Copies of this chain bind each other. A is one copy, B any other.
């Protein structure tokens, strides 16, 4: 009998390599670029976390070696001032593991590709091999890792809740429908009902998962499928507790990125924002401040237009040096039925959005926990509580005061990396016209 013992082969990263200067190393990677120069050949090897310059005598390399060959290299790791990262590998051996059938359709080994967005997204499966493209998704990984690590440290439990559902949480027509064995079903617009349910079980929960919005917008800020970072917490004294938790996460995330993703940040020229002190301003006050300063009249007193979000972000950057702004107390008519109204003025809710460099990246707030109050608000909105029996079960049998939020991971990534379109922060974006790759 053979046995598997669980001692997998390590993968060598650029970071590992930096500790091995002066030694013989073996490296697996893709040939990212090949360039003959002055009697030697420079081979850039793509590694999981960067690329490393390798130098070879031309006779060492097979004649048909080309970009996007998979290779195993052997050589001496050496300090080299002129090489990117201050080191190179002087090759003594090379094994070709696989060869492409055709050259790349676009030169991914060049610095900036400058493709138009449609072309780029069509070629995404291979364009993502460009170092600057993939750096965006390393940073994205850092953000979701920070979210989980921080909340786990704060006593939250991770949950997995269904995406095929019998009713939408956000209402409206922006919901995908499907046939579920002959019954009408929907794709979850958010894990709202389920994360509230789980507050009754674990007090504090989070989920990182896809959500689906059948919005017929085609804008640089909308995706029809995105990754939502959701949390929900019980025993809050105010919705400020939820904002405090988000600010704590952002501080943790920026510190983690600075520590573990410095190369990716540098490659993209990203300056990390300050999250130590985030201004919080009421919705109507924020609208007024931005309207007065930038001379743009308020057209809809109940909602923020994208340009108003932009101006509010600009105002707080100029006046307070702030990249983040909490906008609080959104009008009740624009918030869903589970939002807690402000007892001081029920036209407003105990809720907030977080704007990051002028774009909404989070919606959150306190939820109704009392059964009678929730049923009354549903009825006032013309809804039939009987359709929400399984959700209202939690209110009926006891819930603590609670609140939470959802963060759009792609928007957060796009704003952090300074991308002009949220699609660039989704590996394989879904929009009105795009269902593949």
A contacts, CB < 8 Å to B = 1-11, 13, 28-30, 47-49, 67-70, 72, 97-105, 122-123, 125-126, 128-129, 134, 137-138, 140-141, 144-145, 148, 152, 154-155, 157-167, 176-181, 183, 185, 187, 194, 197-198, 200-204, 208-210, 212, 214, 216, 224-225, 227, 233-235, 237, 240-241, 243-251, 275-281, 320, 326, 369-372, 390-391, 393-401, 409, 426-430, 432, 435-437
**Which 9 pairs show the lowest CB-CB distances between chains A and B?**
A68-B398, A6-B247, A100-B398, A390-B437, A70-B400, A28-B235, A101-B371, A6-B248, A178-B178
CB of A2 within 8 A of CB of B280, answer: yes
A152: chain B residues at CB < 8 Å are 145
Whether A166 touches B436, Cβ cut-off 8 Å, given contacts A138-B157, A157-B138, A280-B4, is: yes
CB of B159 within 8 A of CB of A427, answer: yes
Q: How far is the CB of A95 from chain B (nearest CB, A)?
A: 11
CB of A162 within 8 A of CB of B401, answer: no
Q: How far is the CB of A367 from chain B (nearest CB, A)?
A: 12
A227: chain B residues at CB < 8 Å are 160
Smallest Cβ-Cβ distance to A67: which chain B residue = B398
Measured in the bound complex, the distance between the Cα atoms of B394 and A278 in whole Å is: 44
Measured in the bound complex, the distance between the Cα atoms of B165 and A204 in whole Å is: 33
Main SS of the interface on chain A? mixed
CB of A248 within 8 A of CB of B8, answer: yes
Measured in the bound complex, the distance between the Cα atoms of B148 and A159 in whole Å is: 15
CB of B163 within 8 A of CB of A276, answer: no
Smallest Cβ-Cβ distance to A316: which chain B residue = B1
CB of A428 within 8 A of CB of B30, answer: no
CB of A3 within 8 A of CB of B278, answer: yes
A140: chain B residues at CB < 8 Å are 160
Choose among A4, A243, A393, A398 the residue with the greatest number of B CB atoms under 10 Å from its CB: A4
A426: chain B residues at CB < 8 Å are 160
CB of B397 within 8 A of CB of A194, answer: no
Q: How far is the CB of A315 from chain B (nearest CB, A)?
A: 11
CB of B3 within 8 A of CB of A164, answer: no
Whether A134 touches B202, Cβ cut-off 8 Å, given contacts A210-B209, A427-B194, is: yes
Q: How far is the CB of A402 from chain B (nearest CB, A)?
A: 9
Contacts A1-B320, A125-B197 aside, 14 further interface pairs with beta carbons under 8 A come to: A3-B279, A4-B240, A4-B247, A4-B277, A11-B154, A28-B400, A47-B203, A68-B398, A70-B400, A125-B200, A125-B390, A128-B201, A164-B224, A181-B432
A243: chain B residues at CB < 8 Å are 4
Whether A225 touches B393, Cβ cut-off 8 Å, given contacts A180-B435, A209-B210, is: no
Whether A159 touches B137, Cβ cut-off 8 Å, given contacts A4-B240, A397-B102, is: yes
CB of B11 within 8 A of CB of A204, answer: yes
CB of A276 within 8 A of CB of B398, answer: no
Measured in the bound complex, the distance between the Cα atoms of B225 and A208 in whole Å is: 16
A6: chain B residues at CB < 8 Å are 244, 246-251, 275-276, 278
CB of A8 within 8 A of CB of B245, answer: yes
Whether A247 touches B5, Cβ cut-off 8 Å, given contacts A28-B234, A97-B235, A103-B397, is: yes
CB of B28 within 8 A of CB of A203, answer: yes
CB of B177 within 8 A of CB of A398, answer: no
Smallest Cβ-Cβ distance to A354: which chain B residue = B4
Choose one: B99, B395, B401, B429; the contact of A398 (CB below 8 Å). B99
Q: How far is the CB of A150 from chain B (nearest CB, A)?
A: 10
Smallest Cβ-Cβ distance to A130: which chain B residue = B201
A201: chain B residues at CB < 8 Å are 128-129, 134, 137
A-B residue pairs in contact (CB < 8 Å), sample of 30: A2-B279, A3-B279, A4-B244, A4-B246, A4-B279, A6-B249, A28-B203, A29-B203, A30-B200, A30-B398, A97-B401, A98-B401, A100-B371, A101-B371, A101-B372, A101-B398, A123-B393, A125-B391, A126-B393, A134-B201, A141-B157, A145-B152, A161-B427, A163-B225, A165-B436, A177-B179, A178-B187, A181-B216, A185-B435, A390-B436
CB of B162 within 8 A of CB of A11, answer: no
A244: chain B residues at CB < 8 Å are 4-9
Measured in the bound complex, the distance between the Cα atoms of B154 and A5 in whole Å is: 16
